[in-house]
Amino acid sequence: MAQCVQSVQELIQDSFVPKVAVLCSEDAQKITRKNNLNFSELLRPFCRLTSEGHMRDSNNQVQVVKNLRISVNNVVTRPSVPTSGVHSPAQRRLLSEVVSASQPAEGGVANVITAGDYDLNISATTPWFEAYRESFLQSMPASDHEFLNHYLACLLVVSSSEAVPVEQFLKLSQEQHMIQHNGEYTNPKWFIPNTLKYYVLLHDMSQGDEQRADSVYEDMKQRYGSQGCYLLKINSRTAAAGTDEQIPDPWSQYLNKSSLQSQVRNPAMPCDESSNRQSINKGLRFNHTTPALTLVLCGRSCKLLDYKGKHSCELPSDKPTRRAKSLQFYTGVAAGTSHGACLTLNDHNRLRLFIQEFTFRGLLPHIEKNIRQLNDQLVSRKGLSRSLFSVTKKLFGGGKVPEKSIAELKNTSGLLYHPEAPELQIRKMADLCFLVQHYELAYSCYHTAKKDFLSDQAMLYAAGALEMAAVSAFLQGGAQRPYPAHYMDTAIQTYRDVCKNKVLAERCALFSAEVLKSQAKYSDAATLLIKMTSEDSDLCSALLLEQAAHCFINMRNPMVRKFAFHMILAGHRFSKAGQKRHALRCYCQAMQVYKGKGWSLAEDHINFTIGRQSFTLRQPENAVLAFRHILTNDSQQTATQQGAFLREYLYVYRNVPGVCEVALPQLPLPCINSSATRVYFGHERRLAEGEKQAATHVSLDQEFDQDLAAVWQDLEEQVVAAANRGVVPSTFYPTQCCLNSQTDNLHFPLAVVEEPIIVEVAFRNPLKVPLVLSDLSLLWKFTLKDFSRPQPQDVMVGDAVTITNEKEAIAPRVRKGKGGIPSVCKFLTFSLLSWQARLKLLPRQTGQLTILGLVYNLASTPSTGDSTINSNSPSVRGRQDLEIQGPRLNQTKEEKTSVSHGPDRRLDPTITPPMPLLEVFFLQFPTALLCGEIRKAYVEFCNVSHVPLCGLRVASTHPDFFTFGSSSLATPLTPLSPTSFENCSAYKTLATPPGATPGSVTAVTLVSAADFGSGGGGVFGTGGKRVAEIPLGEGTLTPGESTQLPLWLRGPDQEGVHEINFLFYYEGAEKGGKISHRVLRHTVFICASRSLSVRATACRSNTLPEEEGRNGSMLVFVDVENINTSEAGVREFHIAQVSSSSKQWRLHKCINPAENKDCKLTTRERGKLCFRATRCKPHEATSKSLEKYTFADLSLGNEQIISSTTPCADFFFRRCQSSESWRPLIAVETQGRHSRSQGAGPGGGAEDITGVVRKCNEVDLDIIVLWKAFVVEDNKQVILEGQLHVALQTIGKEACSLRQKEEAQEMVLLKFKPELPPPMTRPSMEQLSHLIKTNLHYPESYSHSFVQKSLCMIPVILTLSNCSLAQVDAIIDLRHKTTSPESLEVHGSFTWLGKTQYKLQLRAQEVMRLPLRAGFLHAGVYNLGTPRVFAKLADQGAMCETSQQTATPALIIINST
């Protein structure tokens, strides 16, 4: 139970006060009427006595009466009405008005209660409840079983201006007597038969004769005794005069209540005369329609009632006129000044004195007398009755029916006693004692009475006595007697169940609960209050439930949830009772407990109710807020329920006046995933135009891929570096055409004027019902800014509705394009679906644009559930803002400890001046190629902007895939040779001279790599390897111009699908703009299928250098295998030509000229070609300085392809570039492997050994195999051409055109420790064994007559050739004998004669001959290859003396002649 203003004691005391009736003569009324009050009202503020009264009880002991209050009321007579246990409708209405009039103050006291983890904001006081209680207690009808609200005394008031006041007194006295004893009226009820009559002479100071009044008073004193009469002088000033004097108005607080009660109907009316008048009107109405109403309205309307009632018996026919008159009368008065206008402070004092006098002289002695009387009666009767009763009880065996009851009626509540019945006397005495605060005596009396009533089975009486006994026991205070709570319980139960008197039960419960509360028995109080709720009265139940809820929260361990639950119940009852404001308040308080705790069903229910109540109370903002909660939280409700919520929400929205006009409301649905918003700058590109294929660029349809973005950014960086002479400018910022949540949005994106901005917004419908959106458009803000001289201009907010007008009306600025999908204006978003809308903006001027949000119409589908959209379904126009939170910052410590987010400028593009815009189209661009196939395509560059374009460059992830050719070598296309194939070959060819044998060298060309490197329009710029400048005619593209360029493509070497990215870079002609450059992306997918596999090996020829007259020659074996698997497609491959390209070597001739001219390979066939390669002699000396490549073409067919020109050489060089990148890597790897095999050793100076050693094995020869493939395509034979490259690096090592995948890379173990750096750097044994090449020269057969000479001596020359470029020490050991068993078997051996071990030193590349002699003893075949050569580099220690590879077996035949 909430805290109350009054304490319990005060409450109970004030509820039971001595009541005094007032009868007024008409003249007296006129006097009081001057003050706008009647007599009882006049007295009311002074009814509480400030001084103590004294009285003696029956034992003659003085009893102090403190703080007594009396209640003065006009006598209202009405015919007997059966007292029912329920309130009449009028009473109910009154109570409900009282409650609804009392509302919590706006922003008033609310204290925070912390219970567990709940912090609740609850108003501690419940004034509406107190108002209700006061009203309720006042409206208690006087009943027969208790006397507390019976009249104890009657004031007879007569004006001194009356002609004969004494007569008037007599008249009034008679009237009172009639009312009391006539039996015509059961109301009002009188306490004691001989009611105290107190005669009051009212004197109007302003008009009456004071002396006369005094004399009349003297007369009265004579008549009634000085104790029984009083002269009251009032109105000591005229209404007109003395307005300057400020007199407090003590009446207002008593009278306002009544006017408040009537104000409820029209709360707007100010609380002054006008409301008074209204209350009078209402009073009249009450009077007319419900004559049974008692004292409902205290104050004037009340007066009106009794005024009416008094005369109604006399003048029943006169009613209408009288009422009219009285109305006139009242309005006249009411229109005057406020209450007590004619009263001075002196008068106030007089009134106070009068009451005091009356109470102490008249009332208290009267009560005292009566108590004594009753006491005497009881004492005298006690002995008799008790004994008599006990005897009769004994005689009749506990006869239940006492003598009095025989004659009485029996009703459900038990007995009805006659008003003067002796049983009631004791109750009467108890009540009297209670009224004068003599609680101890009262308790004992009640207790006795209770026993009597119970034994009589007079349940109503007994309950009353029990109730009062409990109350008086409580009021006794001290620890004399424990509070008998069970008395109360029994009383309530009896009232309710036996007597069926809900009102009394309620009163009792109210007291009981209040008492329990004061004793901190909150749980009992709550139980009691909850028990009292019933279906009968919603208002009462609501109030009681609310109090119960307050009890729960006030407990020592606050029961928050019970509080909340009962609050909800109370709110429910309030709303049933029509108390919407209170209902709303209850729900709001309960909401605090349920909010955000996961009790979604309950939360939804509360929110929904709050929304509804708020709406009916015209608080649309709150309603909208509450409904938002239901809709935005992930609802667990069923679809139908959600649909209902949605419709309700839309309805509320549409009926909110003024919301739509002022500012568009924020809509909660559908959810916009702001961070998923994507922004695209630029046109939606055409993907194809006829045969032309447009560059793919970027579009919103593509998913963002982080890796891909990195690739593009890398490419852009390279191309920018290339464009800026190798340096990436510090202001470089990668171009982002499409912004989303993963891109870097820290910078303001740049958009170009006249180029559209497309915003994609992601919606999600969290509900299970479809939503209809229509008329979507963007909301934006634009600041005009000329970038040459910045000056902020007006900011205008485009509204969706005014787009079309804006075009003409408002000058240039920015005009909005149509909605993203113009043809569809309505969308259904189905349940739980996410869905995107694209909206377009077209900036017309430069400046700063900010996209604020979205505007759209939201509607729900009709409840039938079909998805057809009918146009008149209710829709609401509203907006949703796009607020994008940037990524969380996590750099500094502060950022790490707190949650802060960076900015996201996705939606704030800067509109910059026009920039060139490039479009790129591809013609005849293939999608599938054979590996190594060469194809010619065309590319068209088109400048579609109004600004010239220059600096066109392209970067690609696969630079070896394409070439634009080298312009410096561009010669007019070769005339086709007679034997050339029908289709236009991509290669430049020459017809082979007729006489030449195929396979012999026909052409040797020297080409500098620079020609293909940085020459005009060359392949690779200086900045990056992957960047190429595109040879435009004049370097610029004028607006609208387009250029076509040829483009050669070569199928990638690896089979499979390749994703190839092109990045076209271009700049505007004017430098220094906001955007330095622009890029265009293109991605192609090429499917490469297998063609040929070429493997090549180089072998050192063993022939002596002198033989050929050259320093070196090599044999090159080329294995060509057709690995194409599609038998149907590719019929056969022809090897058209083999070319070589190297700085030092060239192919000399083909050794095995095939029978047929071409080398044909059908599927899975393999062929081997053998070539001899020689060093390019003329350039030997200068090869290092002149980085020129020698191209040698060996045509196997009848036409020669010039390999040194575009595109063959282009691709060759491109391939070099790409392969160079991996070449050193392999070297390191092999070294690493060797070092491990060789083990540890001092590694000083090992670096150069390795170099030297490797060098001697190195060949740097690239073989280009040019082939033609005969392909059947659509029943037509097509010839495809291609080229494959093989790079020979080391002698004896096989090289393959297909790059072998390194096995090691397949499964790389994760290593946590870095591997030890390879300590190796020592050349391997094998490598070292190649240092020296040996050769034996001897006659093949020799005839010798062993008969003549037993020893045959044959001279043999051992040629040692140092392959390396360093000095080599060599040891030749001739004694060395083969240890293999095989050689032992050879019968007979020979011996070397002469010096058998030599130590020689060979300079770099020196050839040394060593004459030897071998001696043979028998004829036979001998192997002369026994000499072992050990070599080491001269400047090294003995460490790496390695046995050199032996020459092949050198057999000699010795014939014996």
Q: Which residues bind other proteins (CB under 8 A)?
A: 116-117, 552, 557, 559-562, 564-565, 568, 594, 597-599, 601-602, 605
Query: What DSSP assignment string belongs to 1033-1068?
Result: SSSEE-TT-EEEEEEEEE--SS-EEEEEEEEEEEEE
Q: Which is nearer to other proteins, 294 or 609 (CB)?
A: 609
Tell me the residue ranges of DSSP E strands in 102-224. 111-115, 118-122, 151-159, 185-187, 196-204
Helix (H) or strand (E) holding 1391: strand 1390-1393
600 versus 616: smaller Cβ distance to other proteins: 600
Among 1351, 1352, 1345, which Cα is nearest to 1456's? 1345
Q: Of 599, 600, 526, which Cα lies nearest the Cα of 569?
A: 526
- Least distance between other proteins and beta carbon 767 (Å): 19
601 vs 825 by CB, closer to other proteins:
601
Of 354, 342, 359, whose CA–CA distance to 32 is shortest? 342
Nearer to other proteins, 599 or 1117 (CB): 599
Q: Residue 1414 is encoded by which pair of tokens?
A: 């071998």
Q: How far is the CB of 1130 from other proteins (least distance, A)?
A: 54
Q: Choose between 568 and 758: whose C-beta lies nearer to other proteins.
A: 568
Q: Which is nearer to other proteins, 562 or 879 (CB)?
A: 562
Nearer to other proteins, 559 or 652 (CB): 559
Strands 1451-1456 and 1341-1344: parallel
Q: Which residue, 549 or 656, has its beta carbon nearer to other proteins?
A: 549
In the bound complex, what is the minimum distance in angstroms from residue 172's beta carbon to other proteins?
A: 57
Q: Which is nearer to other proteins, 560 or 1252 (CB)?
A: 560
**Is the CB of residue 587 less than 8 Å from the CB of residue 602?**
no
Q: Please say which residue, 122 or 1419, places its beta carbon nearer to other proteins.
A: 122
- The residue among 233 and 566 lying less far from other proteins, judged by its C-beta, is 566
Answer yes or no: are the C-beta atoms of 685 and 694 closer than 8 Å: yes
Q: How far is the CB of 898 from other proteins (least distance, A)?
A: 22
With respect to other proteins, which residue has the nearer C-beta, 536 or 1248? Answer: 536
Backbone angles phi, psi at 121, to 5 degrees: -105, 100
Shortest distance, position 554 Cβ to other proteins, whole Å: 13
Whether residue 1137 contacts residue 1200, with contact meaning beta carbons closer than 8 Å, is answered with: yes
How far is Cα 1186 from Cα 347, in angstroms, rounded to an integer? 133
First to last CA, the chain: 145
- Please list the residues that pair with 1354 across neighbouring strands: 1414
Do the beta carbons of residue 763 and residue 837 sit within 8 Å?
yes
Asked if residue 558 has a cis previous peptide bond (ω within 30° of 0), the answer is: no
Q: CB of 352: closest distance to other proteins in angstroms?
A: 52
d(CA 636, CA 630): 10
Q: Which is nearer to other proteins, 515 or 606 (CB)?
A: 606
Strands across the sheet with 1451-1456, in order? 1341-1344, 1451-1456, 1420-1423
Min dist. Cβ of residue 608 to other proteins (A): 11
Please, what is the minimum distance in Å from the beta carbon of residue 117 to other proteins? 7
Least distance between other proteins and beta carbon 563 (Å): 8
For 67, residues 6+ apart whose C-beta sits below 8 A from its C-beta are 13, 48, 49
Residue 1227's nearest CA partner among 1116, 1329, 1327, 1314 is 1327
Report, in Å, the least distance between residue 605 CB and other proteins.
6
**Could you check whether the bond before residue 484 is cis, i.e. omega within 30 degrees of 0?**
no
- State in angstroms the smallest separation of the CB of 37 from other proteins: 51
- Of the pair 633, 977, the CB lying nearest other proteins is at 633
Cα–Cα distance, 224 to 172 (Å, whole number): 14
Task: Fill in the DSSP letter of residue 1314.
Answer: P
Q: How far is the CB of 532 from other proteins (least distance, A)?
A: 15
Please tell me the distance from the alpha carbon of residue 1255 to that of residue 1364, in angstroms, as a whole number.
7
User: At its nearest, how many Å lie between other proteins and the CB of residue 553?
Assistant: 11
CA-to-CA distance for 1014 and 1001, rounded, in angstroms?
30
C-beta of 93 vs 605, nearer to other proteins: 605
On whether the CB atoms of residues 325 and 304 are closer than 8 A, the answer is: no
Whether the Cβ atoms of residue 989 and residue 1201 lie closer than 8 Å to each other = yes
Distance CA 1208, CA 1141 (A): 11
Residue 598 beta carbon to other proteins: minimum distance, rounded to whole angstroms: 3
Residue 789's DSSP bridge partners are none
Is the Cβ of residue 236 or residue 523 nearer to other proteins in the bound state? 523
Cβ(799)–Cβ(782) under 8 Å?
no
Q: How far is the CB of 583 from other proteins (least distance, A)?
A: 17
Q: Which is nearer to other proteins, 495 or 594 (CB)?
A: 594
What is the distance between the alpha carbons of residues 1183 and 664, in angstroms, rounded to a whole number? Answer: 80
Report in angstroms how near the CB of residue 599 gets to other proteins at its nearest: 6
Minimum distance of other proteins from residue 566's CB (angstroms):
9
DSSP 8-class letter at 367: H
